[in-house]
Amino acid sequence: MLYSDFTLDRVRKTFGLTIFDKVDIFASVHEVECPPLLAEVLRDNVPLALASNTEKSRSEMIIAPILIAVRKYLNNQISLFSGIDFTVDSAQGLNGNCDFIISRSPELLILNAPVVPVA
């Protein structure tokens, strides 16, 4: 099974998770002003990505520029990977490629933990 085959309900049941959907986990996070370059890129890219109406176009034209801006905001102390295999446990269905993986490591050539997969 690939990551994209999971639904929230399936993940909850398979891994015995408890979902807290009423908690504002970002309440203490302060807002950050959108960099002018990112705002310009999104102004140009969002209509095109939505008109293309594919996950690939949205990923490339919307998500990638946002992740690059986040990396820049964090002084390049995270790394970004795109389209690489992220097989963690095939028996549990945790295998396949993720659109993006964010690593807490600034190293760009090798994926290091901890990570956040973005599928």
Give residue-wise pLDDT tens across range 13-69: 988 999 888 888 888 999 999 999 999 999 999 999 999 989 889 999 999 999 999
CA-to-CA distance for 68 and 105, rounded, in angstroms? 15
CA-to-CA distance for 14 and 92, rounded, in angstroms? 8
What is the distance, to the nearest Å, from the Cα of residue 14 to the centroid of all Cα atoms in its chain? 22
Q: What is the pTM of this model?
A: 0.79
pLDDT at 1 over 70: no
Interacting residues of 117 by C-beta distance below 8 A, sequence separation 6+: 3, 86, 98, 100, 101
List C-alpha distances in Å: 24 to 7, 18, 20, 33, 53: 22, 16, 9, 20, 31
Q: What is the pLDDT of residue 84?
A: 87
Share of the chain above pLDDT 70, in %: 97
